[in-house]
Amino acid sequence: MSDWSHCFHFGVSLANQAAEIILTSFQKQKAVKLKSSPADLVTETDQRVETFLISAIRTQFPNHRFIGEESVAAGEALELTDTPTWIIDPIDGTVNFVHRFPFVAVSIAFAVNKQTEFGVVYSCVENKLFCAQRGRGAFLNGEPLHVSGQEDISRCVIVTEIGPERDDLALSTMTSNIYRLLRLPVHGVRALGTAAVDMCQVAVGGADAYFHVGLHCWDIAASAIIVQEAGGVVIDTNGLHFDMMSRRVIAASSASVAQRIADVIQVFPCRRDDEDPYSSVCGDAGACENKHV
């Protein structure tokens, strides 16, 4: 097994520097541009942080590749190959950042041969740095962390989001999923506005599961390995293997909770990240029960 620790430590130090840039701007008024929908935002800080991260990594590791949210938005190809690849979300929770809602994170994952080797999620305002290297456990500010281990869905706090999609099918599917979960019942449904921090809540045991459809690989690659290394389970919403390019994820404290959520929720169709990253809902297909997707 290769040792990518030197890259991991470099990634952690860059996350700290990126967090400083984000925090400097957090309280300020931001100029906002729209991307794929009126709720899909980008600021100058998103772009500045991504440029900083990629240029610092490229100087150190000139042969590595990148998938960065804002680079893809600017037209770069979104392709995960076997080459060592840094998968970067410079600010996960941009709507929060714009509104000063205090959950924003920089998310950095590193994959080799399409397998994630490590992930770093720094929730800047909370000053919580979550990280994990494959096979070496997960940590929050240096302390080992573990999922809750909850197996009973009726005792779960579930985190999910209403994402940036605003078409009828996506909205009705997302809101109906919340209804379906509350009817099980579960203890509660929560949303922090950042997939990376939502999933880290599962890793640290504050929530028992997270699910979402319509995400991109930069939103979830780092936090997925953190959940797995914290003893959790990460699967596709169809109940099969997690694929960071599929735009669908369930992260849970146990296999039984993950499977129960997969059985209950519906999904709306999304093109895979490696097909077209900014085409979120395709055609006029209806919402599907997961077992049919």
Q: How far apart are CA 130 and CA 199, in angstroms?
A: 10
89 catalytic? Reply is yes
Catalytic site includes residue 208: no
| Residue 208 CB partners (closer than 8 Å, separation 6+) | 147, 148, 150, 155, 156, 157, 158, 202, 252, 253, 257
**Residues at the contact surface with ligand IPD, assessed by CB under 6 A:** 69, 89, 92-94, 161, 163-164, 193-195, 212, 214-215, 219
Q: Which residues lie near Ca ion (CB under 5 A)?
A: 69, 89, 91, 94
* Identity of the residue, 237 or 254, whose beta carbon is nearer to ligand IPD in the bound complex: 237
Q: Which is nearer to Ca ion, 121 or 262 (CB)?
A: 121
Nearest to 68 by CA among 280, 277, 281: 277
Is 243 catalytic? The answer is no
Would you say 165 or 254 has its CB closer to ligand IPD? 165
Q: Among ligand IPD, Ca ion, none, what does residue 150 contact (CB within 5–8 Å per kind)?
A: none
Pick between residue 146 and residue 272 the one whose CB is nearest to ligand IPD. Answer: 272
- Active-site residue (options: 40, 50, 70, 89): 89
Catalytic residue among 50, 70, 92, 198: 92
Closest distance of CB 43 from Ca ion, Å: 10
Q: Which two tokens stand for residue 288?
A: 């599907």
Task: Select from Ca ion, ligand IPD, none the partner in contact with residue 68, using the beta carbon and a kind-dependent cut-off of 5 to 8 Å.
Answer: none
Closer residue to Ca ion in complex, CB, 124/145: 124
Coil, strand, or helix at residue 278?
coil
Q: Which residues pair with 189 in a beta bridge?
A: 158
40 catalytic per annotation: no
- Which of the listed partners (Ca ion, ligand IPD, none) does 215 bind, with a CB threshold of 5 to 8 Å by partner kind? ligand IPD
Catalytic residue (choose from 161, 219, 229, 236) = 219
Q: What share of the chain is helix, strand, coil (3-state, %, to 5)?
A: 35, 25, 40
**What's the one-letter identity of residue 218?**
W
How far is Cα 116 from Cα 11, in angstroms, rounded to an integer?
13
Q: Is 80 left (phi over 0), alpha (psi -120 to 50) or beta?
A: beta
- As measured in angstroms, the least distance from the Cβ of 234 to ligand IPD is 16
Which DSSP letter does residue 185 get?
-
- 269 makes contact, choosing from Ca ion, ligand IPD, none, with CB < 5 to 8 Å by partner type, with none
Q: CA–CA separation, 92 vs 104, rounded Å?
A: 6
The answer to whether residue 45 is catalytic is: no
Which residues are marked as active site? 69, 89, 91-92, 94, 219
